[in-house]
Amino acid sequence: MRSTSTDFTTQHEYTGEQASVSIATYHSDKPFDMEGCQSSYLLQLCFLPANGFSHACFTERWSRKRYARFGTVSMLPPDEPAHCVASFSRQRSVRCTLEPGAVQAWVGDEPDWPGCPLEKLLDIRSPRVRQLMLNLGEELQNPGFGGEQMLEMMTGQLVLEVSRYLGGLREEKIRGGLSPRNCRLIEERVAGEPRPPSLQELAELCNLSVRQVSRAFRASKGLSLGEYITEWRIAHARRLLAAGDSVKSVAFDVGFSAPSNFSAAFQRETGESPRQYRARVMQRGR
């Protein structure tokens, strides 16, 4: 990730075959601004309360207008671009990076973390996860006998605990919202044809009233049906533009009646025009 106006210092650090852990201090006299993605899972426990705001937007999945707040414990998944902003002047944290391959080895298969609402990754409210992060920080600062082996064992336990916690969140969403079948029907309809569906069409598809399907979908996904449809169309447009498709063809492929309408909507949601986005992504891939 790239950052601006921030000094970063690492006091204690351990690097193992599967994970690395550090205690880091940030000093900044200007707002913190970081955008990009990393190749590993990044877990963080903040010791100091933020004296301002601290938010993030998953830029490839969300509108640029949508930000969620960081909690005391947070996680950024790998290869998931995010824009992180904060107004703190000082922060101290325990940071743990986990290699995707190591995660798969620990749990037998890679957890379906993107299946959980991404805002829940930014605020992990689990006393057990928090305690494990505190224990990692304590072991780093005051290592005991077999310190490296202990850190390796603790990071493995941390991955399992986070996976268990997020799995529980997904179950809560299912119980409080749409059934998996109805979620799948809506997702398939949105992805299946360019024309965006009406609320009435989706309600009939799920055999529910418009009010019921709207409320249940928000409970399941954390956003409205309209927001979901817009985010899906923009995300699909990004993929097509990154593949080199023309703005005109992408506009029709994602259901806009005219390229100008598509360009205006894309600019509004992402902060850049379709042509600017395509040029930037294709330049990055060279």
Sequence spans of domains, the chain: 2-175, 177-222, 227-286
SS3 for 19-68 is EEEEEEEEECCCCEEEEECCCCEEEEEECCCCCCCEEEECCCCCCCCCCE
Task: Give buried/exposed letters for 244-270 (b at 16+ CB in 10 A, else e).
Answer: ebebeebbeebbbeebeebbebbeebb
Specify the higher pLDDT residue, 175 or 46. Answer: 46
pLDDT tens-place string over residues 130-150: 999 999 999 988 888 887 888
Q: What is the CATH number of domain 227-286?
A: 1.10.10.60
- Tell whether the model's pLDDT for residue 216 goes beyond 70: yes
Q: What's the predicted TM-score (pTM) here?
A: 0.62
For the chain, what percent of residues have pLDDT higher than 90? 24
Mean pLDDT of 177-181: 80
Could you tell me the fold of the domain covering 2-175?
A: Jelly Rolls (2.60.120)
pLDDT, position 2: 46
Tell me what pLDDT residue 174 has.
Answer: 52
